[in-house]
Amino acid sequence: MDMLEDLETLQFEYGIQEEDHSWLYLLGRSHGLMTKACAHATFFCKLLHNLRKSLQEKQTSRCHLAGLREDTPDDDALKVGIIGGGHLGKQLAHTLLQLVPIPADSLRISTRRPEALDEFKKLGIQCFYCNSSLVEWANVIFLCCLPSQLSNICAEIQTSLGKACIVYSFVAAVPLPRLKLLLKHTNVLRPQYQCVEDLASIWGANKEITAALQDPVILQATCPYSPAGGIILNIKWLEGVFYAAINVCTEKDMPHSQVLQLLNELFLAKHFEACEKDRASFQKFQAQDFVSKAYAKNLSRKRPFPWFDLTAVQLKETPFSQYLSHSTTFQDNLTHLYCDSFGITLTKEQEPEVSTGFSSQ
């Protein structure tokens, strides 16, 4: 493909009538949406991987202190399933394998045409057609199917979904309330994107997603708070990500005080060290950032957080909504953390413009 890259007759634009050139921006928009979607899914999986690793380390530490034998259950590693082996499913699989990175034996794909996924089978990834078996195995399921296929898929998997399994939907045409109804499941995430009229031509329509996300300009444009590139993420997705992380801890029956400590370590530790001289400008997470003040007041240190309905979190105001929208210190920290997770460190001059997202209603 590199040898053919500069051949004009093989370019997508070749042969398109001049009056139709105005529609070529749709190619960039499609690639931009794909790039952002894969970037955010990768960031989410990195977070879950680090979270589960921290949970295992804390469990190991407790066992050593108590003189107990350490259990190493086979579900400690993050297990990711993809339903759909089309263009999005393939791009997502490549991105997760290379950038999380997820081991091949921790990723499985269910598709109607598993024989078309030989490239993944050669990498040691199980590819088959059994959606219910996939959701029984996985901790996270990515829905990369067509809207017309969704109803049948949901009917197949709803009875196999465990309470803790996170369903992450890329089916843009189907809103959260409908997903919740079809799946009979509340642990659902669905990112929403809005394209502005002046779409920037930064997305590198001919670049592979993994290569694009190593470009600092493109990566910064995918930052959750960044409007760069003309594609804006609804920041309610980020809210859902935090509550999904809390649900992972609640499923392990972890006391809420330890959950807060873990979230502070995962999201704020690096920035907190940088703010040693100005602690007044920095606030660690507290229980009332995630639940009402009245509920937090009656929450004993050893009690877990309640189980959160992620669909409700993404559709309504929560205690965390105000924190996310008004804490500029956190927004700056998250931007640096996000880029660091992809191996790119931002300088002060490179910090992207911040957007608070659009309405989810």
**Model pLDDT for residues 55-76, shown as the tens digit of each residue:** 988 777 665 555 555 555 445 7
Residue 14 lies in a domain: no
Q: Is residue 153 domain-shared with residue 257, that is, in the same domain?
A: no
Whether residue 211 contacts residue 173, with contact meaning beta carbons closer than 8 Å, is answered with: no
Residue 12 lies in a domain: no
Alpha-carbon span 8 to 246, nearest angstrom: 51
Residue 161 lies in a domain: yes
Q: Find the domain containing 131 and state its range.
A: 25-60+74-234
Q: Is 118's pLDDT higher than 90?
A: yes
Whether residue 234 contacts residue 227, with contact meaning beta carbons closer than 8 Å, is answered with: no
Residue 219 lies in a domain: yes
**Model pLDDT for residues 230-285, shown as the tens digit of each residue:** 899 999 999 999 999 999 999 999 999 999 999 999 988 765 555 554 555 567 89
Q: Is residue 201 domain-shared with residue 324, that is, in the same domain?
A: no
Residue 145 lies in a domain: yes
Q: Is 174's pLDDT higher than 50?
A: yes
Residue range 140-159: average pLDDT? 96
Residue 166 lies in a domain: yes
**Model pLDDT for residues 24-66, shown as the tens digit of each residue:** 555 677 888 999 999 999 999 999 999 999 998 877 766 555 5
Q: Is residue 168 domain-shared with residue 270, that is, in the same domain?
A: no
End position of a domain, from candidates 218, 234, 250? 234
Residue range 192-210: average pLDDT? 78
3-state secondary structure of 39: helix
Listed residue (134, 130, 174, 127) closest to 150, CA to CA: 174
Q: Is residue 178 domain-shared with residue 307, that is, in the same domain?
A: no
Residue 348 lies in a domain: no
Residue range 318-337: average pLDDT? 89
Alpha-carbon span 355 to 231, nearest angstrom: 11
Alpha-carbon span 246 to 18, nearest angstrom: 53
Residue 30 lies in a domain: yes
Provide the number of structural domains found in the chain. 2
Q: What is the pTM of this model?
A: 0.88
